[in-house]
Amino acid sequence: MVGTEERKLLRRLIQRDPAALAALIDRYGSYVAAVVWAILKGVMSPEDAEEVVSDVFLAAWDQSGDLQPGKAKAWLGAVARNKARNKLRELSPALPLEDDVLELPQPDSFTLLLEQEESDKLVREAVDSLPGQDREIFLRHYFLFQSVGRIAADLGLKEATVRTRLYRGREKLKTFLTREGFVYEA
């Protein structure tokens, strides 16, 4: 959505057209969800993340005059990052500085955190090892939560081709992760 189409959508949003908000959510909802989830994953429930996503679009509604054609996605991404970080701050107020009150995570928590970081790193490497368009399809589907139909339409492919590439991508990732010693559980 660029140029005239986005300009019209933002104009309708400023005029408080609920259909314009729905169109904005339809266009950028998966992107905003991906930004929020990247910050909140493992810390909050999916419901809390959905609440933050809703707050982002409520901010777009309330501050529609701040959205500029060609920059709406960037604005939504920035608001999503800020709202997700604010939500994290609500959950984790500043720790007191006194030594006798400061609680450190148990060693098991450190171990789990390190294992999770290592797993995340391996998954990123595995996804990065996919060829260009296959990687894009994989990221759109599994990280931006786009449907097979939307990916096919956006990339000018058949849905069956997208499904086949997703299947092959999963198999390549499984092979890569197994080779790297990642314990794979189906």
Distance in angstroms (rounded) separating the CA atoms of residues 40 and 65: 28
Question: Ranked by mean pLDDT, which of 70-74, 95-99, 174-178 comes out on top?
Answer: 70-74
Domains of the chain, start order: 3-91 (1.10.1740.10), 107-179 (1.10.10.10)
Q: Is 24 exposed, middle or buried (0-12, 13-18, 19+ CB in 10 A)?
A: buried
Taking alpha carbons only, the member of 181, 54, 51 closest to residue 121 is 181
pLDDT at 112: 52
Least confident span in 53-67, 101-115, 119-133, 155-169: 101-115
pLDDT at 96: 41
Does the pLDDT value for residue 107 go beyond 80? Answer: no
pLDDT at 91: 65
- For residues 169-186, give the mean pLDDT: 71
pLDDT at 159: 94
Distance in angstroms (rounded) separating the CA atoms of residues 76 and 159: 29
| Confidence tier at 114 by pLDDT (50, 70, 90) | low
pLDDT at 105: 44
pLDDT at 64: 87
pLDDT digits (tens, 9 = 90+) for 134-158: 888 888 887 777 889 989 998 999 9
Q: Tokens 């959905």 — which residue? A: 50
pLDDT at 54: 92
DSSP secondary structure letter of residue 95? P
Distance in angstroms (rounded) separating the CA atoms of residues 76 and 56: 7
